[in-house]
Amino acid sequence: MASRTPASLILVALAVGSGAAAQAPAPLRLSFAEAVRRAAGTAPVVELAGLRSDEAQARVRQARATLLPNLTATAAWVNRDFNKNSLGIKLSFPGAGLPTLIRPFNTYDSRLQVTQTLVDFSSVGRVRAARAQAAGARAEGGAASEASAGATALAYLRAARADAVVGARQADSTIAAELVILAEAQRRAGVSAAIDVTRARTQLVVAAGALVVARNQRDRARIDLARALGIDPATPLALTDTLTARLGAADAPATADSAITLALARRPDLAAEAARAEAARRSAAAITAERLPRVGLEADYGSNGPTVGSSIGTGQIAVQVTLPILDGFRREGRAAEQQAVVRESDVRTRDLKQQIAADVTGAFLDLGAAGAQQTIAAERLRLAQDELAQARERFKAGVAGNIEVIDAQASLIRARDTDIDARFAAAAARVNLARAVGLARDLH
CA 239 from centroid of its chain's CA atoms: 22
Average pLDDT of the residues in 193-214: 90
What is the end-to-end Cα distance of the chain in Å, rounded?
Answer: 52
Confidence of residue 14 (pLDDT cuts 50, 70, 90): low
Confidence of residue 130 (pLDDT cuts 50, 70, 90): very high
- State the DSSP code for 441: G
What pLDDT sits at residue 104? 81
What pLDDT sits at residue 92? 62
pLDDT value at 22 more than 70: no
102 compared with 414, residue with greater pLDDT: 414
What pLDDT sits at residue 169? 94
Name the percent of the chain lying above pLDDT 90. 68
Average pLDDT of the residues in 50-63: 94
- Using only C-alpha atoms, the chain has a radius of gyration, in whole angstroms, of 39
Query: What dotted CATH number matches 30-66+124-177+208-293+326-442?
Result: 1.20.1600.10
CA-to-CA distance for 318 and 46, rounded, in angstroms?
50
Q: Nearest 5°: CA angle at 161, between 390 and 203? A: 40
pLDDT value at 223 more than 50: yes
- State the DSSP code for 27: P
pLDDT value at 257 more than 60: yes
pLDDT value at 47 more than 80: yes
Q: Which residues contact 352 (CB under 8 A, 6 or more apart)?
A: 267, 269, 270, 273
What pLDDT sits at residue 7? 52
pLDDT value at 232 more than 70: yes
pLDDT value at 184 more than 70: yes
CA-to-CA distance for 200 and 182, rounded, in angstroms?
9
pLDDT tens digit sequence for 365-402: 999 999 999 999 999 999 999 999 998 888 888 777 78
Name the percent of the chain lying above pLDDT 70. 92
Please spell the DSSP secondary structure of 250-311, one letter per residue: ----SSHHHHHHHHHHH-HHHHHHHHHHHHHHHHHHHHHHTTS-EEEEEEEEEEEESSSTT-
Average pLDDT of the residues in 403-430: 93
What pLDDT sits at residue 24? 57
Confidence of residue 423 (pLDDT cuts 50, 70, 90): very high
pLDDT tens digit sequence for 291-326: 999 999 999 999 988 888 888 999 999 999 999 988
CA 294 from centroid of its chain's CA atoms: 43
Confidence of residue 87 (pLDDT cuts 50, 70, 90): low
Mean confidence (pLDDT) of the chain: 88
pLDDT value at 1 more than 50: no
pLDDT value at 69 more than 90: yes
pLDDT value at 97 more than 70: no
Average pLDDT of the residues in 127-145: 93
| In the chain, where the domains are located | 30-66+124-177+208-293+326-442
User: What pTM, to 2 d.p., does this model score?
Assistant: 0.82
pLDDT value at 2 more than 50: no
pLDDT value at 89 more than 60: yes
> Phi/psi of residue 249, each to 5°?
-85, 155
425 compared with 399, residue with greater pLDDT: 425
- State the DSSP code for 438: T
Which of 226, 55, 4, 44 minimizes the C-alpha distance to 144? 44
